[in-house]
Amino acid sequence: QSVLTQPPSVSGAPGQRVTISCTGSSSNIGAGYDVHWYQQLPGTAPKLLIYYNSNRPSGVPDRFSGSKSGTSASLAITGLQAEDEADYYCQSYDYSLSGVVFGGGTKLTVL
């Protein structure tokens, strides 16, 4: 059971928009800690996708965006492409656990 809750899977057709939620609690996201997102393509290492809730590292397309509100965060992907098929993880910090916490991951399928 992950501290941050994500849907196990989401799907969408090419060109569509999908969102992935990340729900935390008052000891992590709700306490004001930022949320970061990672993309893990099949068989590869995770890659930083979004940092500090809504910032994109250089090279990440603007089709990817993030937001945070209250005890939750979300990742939105617009103009879905086949290459976006991957696992997506949210990450934050939890003060009651005194450590970094990840969501359980969401598998995105492009139909």
Partner 1 sequence: EVQVVESGGGLVQPGRSLRLSCTASGFTFGDYDLSWVRQAPGKGLEWVGLIKSKTYGGTAEYAASVKGRFTISRDDSKSVAYLQMNSLKTEDTAVYYCTRQLVVAATYYFDYWGLGTLVTVSS
Chain contacts with partner 1 (rule: CB under 8 A): 2, 33-34, 36, 38, 44-48, 51-52, 57, 87, 89, 91-93, 97-105
Nearer to partner 1, 78 or 102 (CB): 102
The sheet that has 72-77: what strands, in order across it? 18-23, 72-77, 64-69
Least distance in Å: CB of 95 to partner 1?
Answer: 8
Least distance in Å: CB of 104 to partner 1?
Answer: 5
Residue 36 is which amino acid? H
Nearer to partner 1, 18 or 90 (CB): 90
Least distance in Å: CB of 34 to partner 1?
Answer: 4
Least distance in Å: CB of 71 to partner 1?
Answer: 16
Angle, CA of 10, 16 and 19, to the nearest 5°: 40
Nearer to partner 1, 19 or 34 (CB): 34
> Both tokens of residue 41?
């393509």
Nearer to partner 1, 10 or 78 (CB): 10
Looking at the DSSP bridge assignments, the partners of residue 12 are 110
- The Cα 74–Cα 13 span in angstroms is 19
- The Cα 73–Cα 77 span in angstroms is 14
